[in-house]
Amino acid sequence: MHILFVEDELKIASFVQAGLKEQGFTVDYCDNGDEGYLRAIEQEYDAIVLDIMLPGKDGLAILKSLRQRKKNTPVILLTARNELDDRLAGLNLGADDYIAKPFFVEELVARLHAVVRRSSGDRQNLLSVGGLQLDRISREVKCNGEIVELTSREFNLLEYLMRSPGRVFTRTQILEHVWGYDFNPNTNIVDVCIQRIRKKVEIVGGWGLIESVRGVGYRFKN
């Protein structure tokens, strides 16, 4: 899943980002409401984790503006434990859930899965192309009925390609989305990861599903 995380407390932000990435999430992070709002309206996310108390545009104002713009991305609010009024206000404005600080990352992960599942439905969480099936919730991949064991990074890369079969993605696009930060453009890390996925899929009969586009990048065959 691709998550937008808006939180100005650096200690909380650090451990949450680390925990989400360990669970296979791709996380875009910002520490103020103005930037968070711009990202939320300009990009598509599977879910948004939004602190209420933020510099700039606060969390409730962001949520209200998103819903007024008919942006229905699932939103989980982070609140202080004793701020009942804020939690109620958030739910009334269209928040999908809230979690009180302090909290365990495992709880946030479970709530993210739940709101995305409710929002998109199980069908959209199951990607199926050319005999290969990828379940975005259980993070299970099958090819011709056989389970394909992938690392977290391999899963995220395969999901990224499968969400837009036939579309060509450059190495830079893949790096930015799957790794979450810029690498040396001359690195071969994308090519190495693609080769590992291909080998694992081909063992169970998934031949030619990921195509190389010379001089550009890769696409998933549609």
How far apart CA 187 and CA 189 sit, in angstroms, is: 6
Helix (H, G, I), strand (E, B) or coil at 87: helix
pTM above 0.75, yes or no: no
Phi and psi at residue 119, in whole multiples of 5°?
A: -75, -45
Per the structure block, which two tokens stand in for 100? Answer: 């009180």
pLDDT of 26 strictly over 70: yes
Chain centroid to Cα 195, Å, comes to: 23
pLDDT of residue 29: 95
**159-216 per-position pLDDT tens digit:** 989 988 888 999 888 888 888 665 666 678 999 999 999 999 988 888 889 999 988 8
**39-75 per-position pLDDT tens digit:** 999 888 989 999 999 999 999 999 999 999 888 899 9
